[in-house]
Amino acid sequence: MEAMLFTYVNEKLFSKPTYRAFINLLNNYHPKTGQGEHFSAQQLAEQDTFLEEVMKTNVMKELYGFLHRKNHYNSEEEFVKDLKNMWFGLYSRDKGDRDSSGFEHVFSGEIKHGKVTGFHNWIRFYFQEKEGLVDYYSHIYDGPWDSYPDVLAMQFNWDGYYKEVGSAFIGSSPEFEFALYSLCYIAQPGKKCKLKLGGYPLAIQTYTWHKTTYGNGKKYIATAYVVSSTH
């Protein structure tokens, strides 16, 4: 019998507005790099809906207020436009096609040269496991928290492709992860951003995409993921 990471999740959670908007985005991508991404009008509208819904949450309001006070953004409109560019803007990881984005890589996952890359989200993992597409092997790190959100670093197989180690928050909301990764990317791009969660230290590692830019030389998100502070 194959091991399952998730034995039970109350799916009522997924009807909450931010969860529903997040889940709607996950089927908008080709997992394999080298296949160009082309969004329909509906898929572009789903990106806007997700941003609208997360901006209604306290954690994203707090993040905007913090960045506004630090003079990163003059208005919420400017902030949301930048989030859309840095997370959803397309660039090429393979063969010149605009085949990737920060959001696809981090939250949905990609397959490049026969290996799983990105794929750092528990909701995506849950649904792919439920469909029989993810085979969970083991974890090499389990965070010290005794409640959710927790952090796991896992080994797994996704649709026949191997992920040697992939870290993810478990049980966190889409807005929590989106806010945390955005904070660390904007404040300390390309660095290990040290934080405390429930009194325990952890860090978010982000990387910038250097090959292409948007706006006035701004850089897209290449990846963002949680690491234990001891690693």
Task: Write the CB contacts of 153 (distance below 8 Å, at least 6 apart in sequence).
Answer: 139, 140, 141, 165, 166, 167, 228
Catalytic residue among 112, 120, 139, 219: 120
d(Cα 197, Cα 145) in Å, to the nearest integer? 8
Indicate the helix (H) or strand (E) that contains 60.
Answer: helix 58-69
Q: What is the DSSP letter of 218?
A: E
Catalytic residue among 32, 68, 72, 105: 105
Would you list the DSSP string of 160-216? TEEEEEEEEEES--HHHHHHHHHHHHHHSTTSEEEEEETTEEEEEEEEEEEEEEETT
Q: Is 139 an annotated catalytic residue?
A: no
d(Cα 36, Cα 148) in Å, to the nearest integer? 36
Cα-Cα-Cα-Cα torsion 64, 65, 69, 74, nearest 10 degrees, comes to 50
Catalytic residue among 112, 139, 163, 219: 163
Q: Is 105 an annotated catalytic residue?
A: yes
Indicate the helix (H) or strand (E) that contains 53.
Answer: helix 41-54
Rounded alpha-carbon distances, angstroms, from residue 65 to 8, 59, 62, 76, 213: 36, 10, 5, 9, 26
Instruction: Please count the other Cβ atoms lying within 10 Å of the Cβ belonging to residue 115.
Output: 12
Q: Is 38 an annotated catalytic residue?
A: no
- Catalytic residue set: 105, 120, 163
